[in-house]
C-alpha cells in the first residue's frame, strides 16, 4: 500500500494518460488490452467499464491478480500497478462514473445488463520518471556505455508488496 501523498503522486502521473494496458491471464498466457480510466481521483482503487460478457471478466474470475501499465513516452512517465480485480454492477457506481465517452461504447445505455465496472484494488507498483530532456537521456546513455555504468535518467520507485 502507499500513503495518501504517494497515491496523489501516482494519480498525477496517470490521470492525463487515461488509457492503461490491463494484463490478465488467459489460461497460462498473459494477455493485455487497453482500458480507459473513468474516475476523477485515485484512492488506491482504479475503475474501468467493461461488458460482463467480455473475456477479461472470465479471466479475472479465474485469477483475480492483474497488472496495469501506463506510459507517456514524450514525458518520460512509466507506471506499473499490480492488484486484484473484481466485477461490480453497483448501480450507484455505474451512475457515478457514466459519461458520454462510455455511453458511446454501450449503445443500450447504463441499464444494459451487460454493463459492469471492473474494480482494481492496487496493492503494489513501480514508476519511472525521466528527469531531463531526451538529449540529456541520450548523453546519460552514451556516458554509461563509455564508463560501463548504469545511466541515471530519472526517478524510479517501488511501493507496496
Mind listing the pLDDT tens digit for each residue in 32-87? 999 999 999 999 999 999 999 999 999 999 999 999 999 998 888 999 999 999 99
Give the pLDDT of residue 134.
57
Instruction: List CB contacts of 71: < 8 A, sequence separation 6 or more.
Output: 17, 77, 78, 79
- CB-based contact 54:83 (threshold 8 Å): no
Q: How far apart are CA 141 and CA 152, in angstroms?
A: 8
Side-chain half-sphere of 143: how many Cα atoms within 13 Å? 10
Q: How far apart are CA 79 and CA 110, in angstroms?
A: 30
Instruction: List CB contacts of 33: < 8 A, sequence separation 6 or more.
Output: 21, 22, 56
Mind listing the pLDDT tens digit for each residue in 115-159? 999 999 999 999 988 765 555 555 555 655 677 766 555 667 788
Q: How far apart are CA 47 and CA 100, in angstroms?
A: 16
Continuous H helices in the chain: 4-14, 55-62, 91-97, 100-105, 134-147
Give the pLDDT of residue 98.
96
Mind listing the pLDDT tens digit for each residue in 96-110? 999 999 999 999 999
Cell 495518501: give the residue.
4
Amino acid at each position: 500500500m502507499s500513503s495518501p501523498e504517494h497515491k496523489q503522486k501516482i494519480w498525477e502521473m496517470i490521470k492525463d494518460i487515461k488509457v492503461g494496458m490491463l494484463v490478465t491471464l488467459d489460461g497460462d498466457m498473459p494477455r493485455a488490452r487497453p482500458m480507459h480510466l473513468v474516475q476523477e481521483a485515485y484512492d488506491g482503487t482504479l475503475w474501468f467499464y467493461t461488458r460482463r460478457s467480455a473475456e477479461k471478466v472470465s479471466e479475472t474470475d479465474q485469477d483475480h491478480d492483474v497488472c496495469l501499465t501506463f506510459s507517456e513516452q514524450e514525458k518520460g512517465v512509466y507506471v506499473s500497478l499490480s492488484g486484484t480485480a473484481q466485477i461490480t454492477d453497483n448501480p450507484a457506481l455505474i451512475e457515478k462514473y457514466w459519461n458520454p465517452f462510455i455511453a458511446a461504447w454501450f449503445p443500450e445505455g447504463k441499464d444494459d445488463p451487460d454493463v459492469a465496472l471492473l474494480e482494481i484494488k492496487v496493492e503494489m507498483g513501480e514508476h519511472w520518471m525521466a528527469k531531463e530532456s531526451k538529449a540529456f537521456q541520450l548523453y546519460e546513455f552514451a556516458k554509461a556505455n563509455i564508463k560501463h555504468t548504469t545511466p541515471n535518467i530519472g526517478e524510479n520507485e517501488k511501493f507496496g508488496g
